[in-house]
Structure 1
Amino acid sequence: MRVPIPDVLLPAEALGRVHFVGIGGAGLSGIARIMLARGIEVSGSDAKPSATIEALRALGATCFVGHAAEQVANADTVVVSTAVRADNPEVVEAERLGLRLLPRSAALEAVMQGRRVVAVAGTHGKTTTTSMLTVALQHCGADPSFAIGGDLNEAGTNAHNGTGELFVAEADESDGAFLVYSPYAALVTNVEADHLDNYGTEEAYREAFVQFLDRIDEAGFLVACSDDPGAADLLDIARERGRTVVSVGLGTAAEVRAENLRQVGSTSTFEVVDRGRRLGEVTLVVPGQHYVLDALAALACGLRLGYPFADLARGLGAYSGTRRRMELKGERNGIRVYDSYAHHPREIAGDLEAARALAGPGRIVVAFQPHMVSRTRIFGAEMGQALGAADEVVVMDIYVAREDPEPGVTSALVADAVPLGPEHVVLEPSWSATAGHLVERARPGDLILTLGAGDVTLLGPSVLALLEGEEPVDDHD
């Protein structure tokens, strides 16, 4: 559901009692956590019980499982997830009562008001880059507030109400949310067509990032990756408008670039050069070249904010990952099981590159769950091509999310495009049968990877149980 942005955006402390419809999601739970830390009365509901719901209850939130009209009776403001439909009884009741309705973006802006905001945007890598910057700043002695679309391994949470002036926020473009924020500085990892269910055309999607430039404070700056054509175009536009920009990348065009990159297993080591000056080395313990680019963007931003290279580098070296971003779920009988959020062709390719480095001489066995009907219709063939970098592939049914099914749009669009022989590709409509396929195909030394933005993430425990010869864990309904 798309809730209109109000003409006047109030600070969080002026919203009264706040109720979140979809409080268990990555976006709303983080905002609720920050409000609770500021002493704001919070309630919320979600369709299913979860560890997130329990954590929010422990912090003082009143949380309901299931949606019912009476649950908004005591609220002054109702924040609505984009995944919620317009006929949700709590939304209908809030409208009937004339309560203040806010989308996620306006609620995040409410908690960011009065802080010096660094917004991290881009088609891919937002969560990782936001997380890296947060951890790097913490190692500099700063205590930034943050709101991230995934749980930091170090903090065990997706949000924090810091004591410092900085607020580091993942700025989601999927529904135009990032056009609500007014950051001091912005990072753009890359710009590549996505979310065309909302934007309609690639041109409209790219234009939103141009509009995002106008949201940046005139005294602030933009960091973007010059290796990415879409981000490079954005840098050019920003320069033409007289904005302060910092380009990062592996290419010679980048002002802050990585040289002498060495990748061994799960580590990447590189030397940082800033406008011709060699600053020193950074070693990451997360695999993949795309993480090097994310780290460069975070480092460049930290440097321009005035923090020392040595502390930033130490923080980046300590960064151990974010939940659902190449997250190790466990190892049984010499087979490691990872889970990752990749759902776009470029993200799939990046995670499989990282998986190849981790697997070494072993093979990669993948379960991929396409996310959203419209994305599968537009990018299904490219998803299949990207999956060709694995050795064995199981393609699951589409996780339809907030959309309705479309005739002719199925996971077969992905499976049929995987450039491996038919003996290496399985199209599996049964969620519960997927773990068995993975275990049948894996052997000691291999790496099993579950990929997608939906409930494929719940497969890991079942895979590990089957590898041990036990009954699968069924957390899926």
Structure 2
Amino acid sequence: MAPAVPGTLERPHFIGIGGAGMSGIAKILAQRGAKVAGSDAKDSPTADALRALGATVHIGHAAGHLADDASCVVVSSAIRADNPELVRAAELDLPVVHRSDALASVMTGLRSIAVAGTHGKTTTTSMLAVALSTLGLSPSYAIGGDLEGPGTNADHGDGEIFVAEADESDRSFQKYDPEVAIVLNVELDHHANYASMEEIYESFETFIGKISPGGTLVVSADQPGAIELTARVRGRSQLNIVTYGESETADVRVHKITPRGLTSEVTVLSGGRFLTFTVSVPGRHYALNAVAALAAGIALGIPAHNLASAIGSYTGVKRRLQLKGEAAGVQVIDSYAHHPTEMSADLEAMRSAVAEGTRLLVVFQPHLFSRTQELGTEMGQALALADASIVLDIYPAREDPIPGVTSELIINAALAASAAVTAVHDKSAVPETVAGMVKPGDLVLTMGAGDVTDLGPEILAHLTDSGPAN
């Protein structure tokens, strides 16, 4: 196990160990024999999973949680400087390791695939992890969401391949040196860290510059930002570029995407051969994610026909159009979409997957004040794709409020786009509000990156007890 920085990761203490990115690294280190400890704001199944691997997990943040024998403290960009455990680390003169450095460390010495892009990273990383596992290659992986099959976001495998979700939000993906990098799309997001598209492009260019000599960039041939990025980096020495998508110029070209209910059948042309395989989630964007995964695997030398077949064994990631259940004839599905492009893609996917005449109701929770300030209008316009929407207050996550920035920005934009939208400020009132709006046969989509996901089971329970009002 190689250290990320001076001061080893043999006895790391993770602040916020239950987070999607942090918990994955902690799991891998625990599986490799490290003495892992950490803290999180609340208990969770993730905390229990870490304890089962031998980790010590404290609930709440306190200086006393940091053990005297800790070798370093691992943090993400969400951890504030006044966190008592971080303050205590400074008093003890312990090395502070950023999450990205820790992940770079556990990837050292392996053939790595880093999956980047404004949208679709978790799904694409997951497809690769599942496909490679199905082929018996025993990859290690670190993903920003739990796989439906194994039910985990990370694993230490015995093989030589490591698949990692590469986060651009805080530029941390610039720490990795992958053999293969995937760029799915490039759009303006994470407004607290990027002031312009030019800064976004520069960040992605730096990421691509870290690809190991002779390595491969797999990049969309369709998405405008990805096309611009490709033009900027084409011609770099010792970089192979493989494009994928529906464009006639794509190296791995999508020939056909056929919706089949909540799945899709995809046919691609690669190396002069047609390959057809199944994607277990609906929608064109998920099909294209699968093609990106296919192209990356081929770049590592895995036979295309084997990989295409194995991708069919992928069964989804929690919160990516995940069916939560059905009650009183109403299906409830959960979506992590929080950027307007993601919202539109998931709504269009559900439209293509459900029967004609099915009504689609969205319960949307905006994520971050900065994102709402910049993209609230586009969020409201995306909600016009639903038959009706409920909009909650903004989930702040790591941010402080911005004066004048509320979910009203989204609601006003939705109303201007002729959408049927209702504001609900009390999250506990949502199940009853939904029951008053739906009828048997409808579909409810809970959408957002915050705790809106908790509402799915509550809506189902209310419908089971009381039924729809209509």
Asked if the contact 2:432–2:462 (Cα under 8 Å) also holds between the matched residues in 1, the reply is yes
Q: Distance in 1 between matches of 2:449 and 2:413?
A: 20
1:442 aligns with 2:447: no
Q: Please give the TM-score of this superposition, normalised by the length of structure 1.
A: 0.94
Post-superposition CA distance 1:279-329 (Å, at most 9, x none): 321121210000111011000111121112222122211111001111110
The residue aligned with 2:183 is 188
Partner of 2:76: 81
Change (3 A) 1:9 1:203: farther
CA distance in 2, matches of 1:125, 1:422: 29
- Deviation readout 1:377-416 (Å, 9 max, x if unpaired): 0000000001110001000000011111111100000011
Q: Match for 2:311 among 311, 316, 322?
A: 316
Contact 1:238 1:245 in 2 (8 A): no
Matched, 1:49 2:11: no
Asked if 1:173 corresponds to 2:152, the answer is no
1:206 aligns with 2:201: yes
Give CA-to-partner distance per residue, 1:99-134, whole Å, 9 cap, x none.
010111111111111111110000000000000111
SS at match of 2:445: strand
The residue identity in structure 1 corresponding to 2:206 is: Q
What do residues 136-178 of structure 1 show as CA deviations (whole Å, max 9, x unaligned)?
2122221110000000112110000010111000000001110
| TM-aligned CA deviation for residue 32 of structure 1 | 0.4
1:364 corresponds to 2:360: yes
Q: CA deviation at 1:344?
A: 0.2
Alignment correspondent of 1:328: 323
CA contact (8 A) 1:271 1:278 kept: no
> What's the counterpart of residue 475 of structure 1?
none
Shift of 1:343: 0.3
Question: Is 2:449 the counterpart of 1:453?
Answer: yes
Q: Is the 8 A contact 1:369 1:395 kept in 2?
A: yes
1:434-475 CA distance string (max 9 Å, x none): 22222221111111000000000100111001111269xxxx
Residue of structure 2 in register with 1:161 after alignment: 156
Aligned equivalents of 2:4, 2:206: Cα separation in 1 = 22
Quick check: 240-249 or 42-51, which moved more? 240-249
Question: 2:270: which partner in 1?
Answer: 274
Q: Counterpart of 2:127?
A: 132
In structure 2, runs of 5+ residues without a counterpart are none
Q: Which amino acid in structure 2 is aligned with residue 459 of structure 1?
A: L
8 Å CA contact 1:345–1:379 kept in 2: the answer is: yes
Contact kept, 8 Å, 1:247 with 1:256, in 2: the verdict is yes
Tell me, yes or no, if structure 1 residue 424 matches structure 2 residue 420. yes
Q: 1:73: how far off?
A: 2.9
CA contact (8 A) 2:381 2:417 kept: no
Secondary structure of the residue that 1:414 maps to in structure 2? helix
Could you report, residue by residue, the CA deviation over 1:340-373 in whole angstroms, capped at 9, with x for unpaired residues? 1100000000110111123322111000000000
User: Do the aligned residues in 1 keep the contact of 2:344 with 2:382 (CA within 8 Å)?
Assistant: yes
Letter in 2 for 1:135: V
Tell me what 1:393 maps to.
Answer: 389
In structure 1, stretches of 5+ residues that fail to align are 1-7, 472-477
RMSD: 1.7
1:24-72 Cα deviation digits (max 9, x unpaired): 1101100000000000000010011111111111110011001110111
Stretch deviating more after TM superposition (418-427 or 383-392): 418-427
Distance 1:285 1:236 in 2: 33
Give me the whole-angstrom Cα distance separating, in 2, the residues matched to 1:301 and 1:363. Answer: 38
After TM superposition, give the deviation of residue 240 of structure 1 in Å.
2.1
Which SS does the other structure have where 2:370 is aligned?
A: helix
**Paired residue type of 1:18:** P
Q: Distance in 1 between matches of 2:400 and 2:9?
A: 34
Q: Which residue of 1 aligns with 2:220?
A: 225
Q: In the alignment, does 2:248 pair up with 1:252?
A: yes
Conserved? CA contact 1:366–1:438, under 8 Å = no
The answer to whether the Cα contact below 8 Å between 2:8 and 2:72 also exists between their aligned partners in 1 is no
Q: Are the aligned partners of 1:12 and 1:110 in contact in 2 as well (CA < 8 Å)?
A: no
Aligned residue among 115, 119, 122 for 2:114? 119
Q: Aligned to 1:462, which of 455, 458, 463? A: 458
Displacement of 1:16 = 2.9
Q: Secondary structure at the match of 1:222?
A: strand
Q: Tell me, in whole angstroms, the C-alpha distance in 2 between the residues paired with 1:349 and 1:84.
A: 31
Q: Which amino acid aligns with 1:443?
A: K
SS in structure 2 at match of 1:263: strand
Cα 1:12–1:110 shift into 2, 3 Å: farther
Quote the Cα distance in structure 2 between the aligned partners of 1:388 and 1:150: 28
In the alignment, the residues of structure 1 paired with residue 78 and residue 355 of structure 2 have an alpha-carbon distance, to the nearest angstrom, of 39
For 1:229-256, what per-residue CA distance to the aligned partner results, in whole angstroms no more than 9, with x for missing partners?
Answer: 1111222223221321100001212110
Aligned residues between the structures: 463
| 2:43 match: secondary structure | coil
Of residues 310, 334, 344 in structure 2, which corresponds to 1:339?
Answer: 334
- Is 1:13–1:40's contact at 8 Å kept on the other side of the alignment? no
Q: 1:370 touches 1:411 (CA, 8 Å); kept in 2?
A: yes
Amino acid at match of 1:56: L
Whole-Å separation in 1 of the counterparts to 2:10 and 2:156: 18
Aligned-pair CA distance for 1:88: 0.8
Q: CA deviation at 1:420?
A: 7.4
Identity within the alignment, %:
52
Q: Where does residue 19 of structure 2 map in the other structure?
A: 25
Aligned to 1:67: 61
Q: CA deviation at 1:421?
A: 8.1
Could you tell me how far apart the structure 1 residues matched to 2:291 and 2:464 are?
40
Where 1:157 maps in the other structure, the secondary structure is coil
